[in-house]
């Protein structure tokens, strides 16, 4: 039996859905419809202090990772994050405390970067590729592109040596330019990249979307979804697979050990047999909660809807809220509701069904619960198997995985060191 303590992961949204950009594909901006008029989208000190104290005290693991997201969290200003550090400081001896800031990068300054460097923040910055690709979807409220401001933010992070990674969203048109995106990021000296596919479904009732939202909520895994129409910006399934394959073929020949693409790291991790570090490819989910600006806790970042509200940080402990989520069946059904088509699939160990929110397609048996990106996932995971097998052999023989770059050029003799 595995007695390793399982931590609780919380993504905090201290400014809720408020952002200085209006990215076409953003699923979170519309969440303003869930709050009343006159809502103050700013986390109070009472909620912030309760969160910091509760999170650190209830975490069974030695490391506590605070993830600050939005909306755009830098809109809160430096003073808010100075209070974050002040509230964390008395508890530093109890745990190792890490902070992660996810930002669009457009508001970063020298002062911001000096602060982030001083307090060892890891920064995730959104950059979809070169200007034409980035600005296709990532525009401000006046319709202006955000590329130049985002790139300036990246340059400031590099200037001040702030640890960072790039989150590159793959929408419908982006998927047509895999090498242009990847080579651009390499030219910017980006070493850590995550590709995030954009998948959103239109609501069941176009004349009156639920809760005033324009996008559909999570799929119902146990029954057929009548509405499977997707948004115009949603990446096509096989095109996403082709995107990953094209980037992988370039990476495996030139950049292993120099550029770290998280999607590829996850695939190798699954091939070796380790548990997935990300919820979308884990057997079960449900321990990655979301804290909204007002203290409300939801079951998942993709499930900030009234029916998934678990409680409020001011009135309950995080372990109790996580357990409430588990007992509701959320997270467990990611595995238990897998259709026969998935259970028989040769890439199940890598995919694990994908994110439940996006499992609104039918299998070839006519069962509900198939992930929208199934064809793309299959194309990608099947294509890279030969490389994963070779890299596993290298690692088992005490050699770095980067030797795969020699193997793709011709036969490689592996000698144990």
Catalytic positions, written as ranges? 301
Helices 178-187 and 237-254: crossing angle in degrees, nearest 10, is 40
Cα–Cα dist 371/321, whole Å: 27
Q: Across the chain, which distance is largest between two alpha carbons, in Å?
A: 68
Phi, psi of 106 (to 5 degrees): -75, -20
What is the per-residue DSSP string for 205-243?
Answer: -TTS-GGG-SS-----TTS--S---B-TTSPPHHHHHHH
- For 351-374, b/e burial (b = at least 16 CB within 10 A) is bbbbbbbbbbbebeeebbbbbbbb
Q: Hey, how many other C-beta atoms are within 10 angstroms of the C-beta on 190?
A: 20
Find all residues with CB under 8 Å of 179, minimum gap 6, and list them. Answer: 246, 247, 250
Cα–Cα dist 190/125, whole Å: 11
Residues 358, 373 contacting (CB under 8 angstroms): yes
Find all residues with CB under 8 Å of 18, minimum gap 6, and list them. Answer: 32, 41, 70, 71, 72, 75
Q: Which two tokens stand for residue 96?
A: 């190792």
Bridge-based pairing of strands 309-312 and 296-298 is: antiparallel
Residues 357, 221 contacting (CB under 8 angstroms): no
- Per the rule left: phi > 0, alpha: psi between -120 and 50, beta: everything else, 273 is left
Q: Which two tokens stand for residue 211?
A: 């809760």
């Amino acid at each position: 039996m595995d007695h390793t303590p399982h931590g609780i992961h919380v993504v905090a949204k201290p400014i809720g859905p408020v952002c200085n950009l209006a990215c076409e594909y953003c699923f979170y901006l519309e969440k303003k419809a869930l709050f009343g008029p006159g809502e103050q989208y700013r986390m109070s000190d009472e909620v912030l202090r309760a969160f910091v104290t509760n999170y650190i005290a209830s975490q069974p693991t030695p490391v506590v990772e605070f993830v600050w997201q939005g909306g755009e969290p830098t809109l809160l200003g430096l003073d808010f994050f100075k209070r974050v550090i002040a509230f964390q400081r008395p508890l530093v001896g109890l745990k190792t405390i890490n902070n992660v800031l996810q930002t669009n990068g457009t508001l970063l300054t020298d002062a911001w970067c000096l602060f982030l460097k001083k307090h060892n923040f890891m920064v995730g910055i959104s950059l979809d590729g070169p200007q034409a690709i980035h600005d296709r979807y990532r525009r401000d409220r006046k319709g202006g592109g955000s590329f130049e401001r985002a790139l300036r933010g990246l340059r400031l992070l590099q200037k001040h040596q702030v640890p960072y990674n790039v989150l590159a969203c793959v929408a419908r048109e982006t998927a047509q330019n895999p090498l242009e995106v990847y080579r651009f990021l390499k030219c910017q000296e980006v070493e850590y990249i995550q590709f995030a596919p954009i998948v959103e479904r239109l609501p069941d009732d176009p004349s009156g979307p639920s809760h005033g939202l324009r996008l559909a909520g999570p799929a119902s895994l146990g029954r057929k979804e009548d509405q499977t129409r997707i948004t115009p910006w949603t990446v096509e399934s096989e095109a996403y697979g082709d995107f990953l394959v094209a980037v992988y073929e370039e990476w495996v020949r030139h950049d292993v050990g120099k550029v770290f693409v998280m999607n590829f790291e996850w695939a190798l991790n699954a091939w070796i047999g380790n548990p997935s570090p990300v919820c979308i490819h884990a057997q079960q989910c449900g321990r990655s909660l979301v804290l909204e600006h007002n203290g409300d806790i939801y079951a998942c970042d993709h499930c900030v809807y009234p029916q998934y509200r678990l409680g409020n940080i001011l009135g309950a402990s995080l372990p109790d809220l996580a357990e409430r989520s588990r007992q509701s069946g959320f997270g467990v059904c990611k595995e238990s509701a897998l259709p026969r088509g998935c259970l028989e699939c040769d890439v199940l160990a890598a995919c694990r069904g994908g994110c439940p929110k996006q499992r609104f397609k039918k299998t070839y048996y006519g069962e509900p619960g198939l992930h929208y990106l199934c064809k793309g996932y299959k194309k990608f995971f099947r294509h890279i198997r030969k490389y994963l097998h070779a890299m596993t052999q290298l690692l088992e023989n005490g050699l770095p995985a980067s030797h795969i770059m020699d193997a793709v050029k011709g036969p490689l003799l592996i000698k144990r060191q």
